[in-house]
Structure 1
Amino acid sequence: MGMGEGDSIHDRRRALEEAFFSKRDQELLEKMRKKMSAEETEKVLSVAIGIADTTCVHAITRVEAGVQVLTVLALLPLVEVAWSDGDVSAQEKTAILKAATEMGIAPDSTTHQCLTSWLESRPTQEAVAAWDKYVRAICATLEPATIATLKSGTIGRAEKVAAAAGGFLGLGSKISTAERECLDRLATAFSAS
């Protein structure tokens, strides 16, 4: 990884953090950043995106993103898909909160508070664009197999949220056209270009 490439990832990480965490959360975010060891970060990331392969997890964490950014990396697609139909259904909210619990996000944590806020008020397009650019920057540093694993885990969770609301009267596709378009758009970020 060249000097400019690493700087780009760090710049995009900072932009993603700023897009998601309000000023009042910056102090808590800094505390979270300092508390988490590299080993803890890898463990949380492994749970967050459903990757058990330690080599893959290590490759992703070597970009020094920090657990809070990696959690946002995993959570944004869930929230964005839920909002793609214009509002978040009760079933989608339940599915997202369940996924957050499975990711090890404590109900009293800053990350959970931010997630709750995103479920009440859709993340801005600037935040989604920052996520997209950050994912692309990370993928530019990873091997294709690692990218495929990261994409599968992240988009797979988002598909579960999309399917949570079900189809009309339980008939037809459980994923709406708007949700499918959103999933496809999010998936394009996982290219190294």
Structure 2
Amino acid sequence: MRYTLPLERITLSDYQQLLLKQNLLPGRRILLEQLEARFAMLCDQGLTTVAQLAAALSSPNKLSSLAAATGIPEEYLTILRRELGSLSQKPVPLSDFPACSPAQIRSLAEESIRTSKEYWERGGATQDELFSLCDLVRINGVGAVAARAFYEAGYSSVAAVANAAAAGMLKRVSAVNAEKSYYKAKLGEKDMQFCIDYAKLLVAYS
């Protein structure tokens, strides 16, 4: 099992569905324009996985060549490349998690374990609260404070999020945040559904 999604195994079809359900930033909503047709064009070029697509967009020359071969605007492919970059979650410093034991964080640092990835990969029998938080930040868009809110709302793992219902999850997470004020962002059902769908990918491709 890997900390991040194995991009070489994620199909373009799966990624297309993820984009459709994601609450994209305003500057990236262009990706939804002719999404099905444009992804079909990419598949016609022999690109079947996210890793292959990322490689095909990895340099300006490659991006231009793909644009010429498919007729997809370079602007669209440039934004797609940026969005692809968000698929791999960066490790979170353990010290960023709210309400965790400072003594535990210091002790782990002495063992050169300082990030969510390092603690998660140690795994094994050490599946405590901190492990749960490290598991939750594997979900795209979930940072340290959101992970704490998810955990206190009863979602202690990626698998728990994958099995959640968006409306119920939003209600429980919002109730925790209303009490603890972990984050200021106003989340909706679409945000919860994206987390659920991403968690399902992590489970499916683990």
TM-score for the superposition, normalised by structure 2: 0.25
Q: Which has the higher contact order (CA 8 A, sep 6+)?
A: 1
Task: Tell me which structure has the larger Cα radius of gyration.
Answer: 2
TM-score for the superposition, normalised by structure 1: 0.26
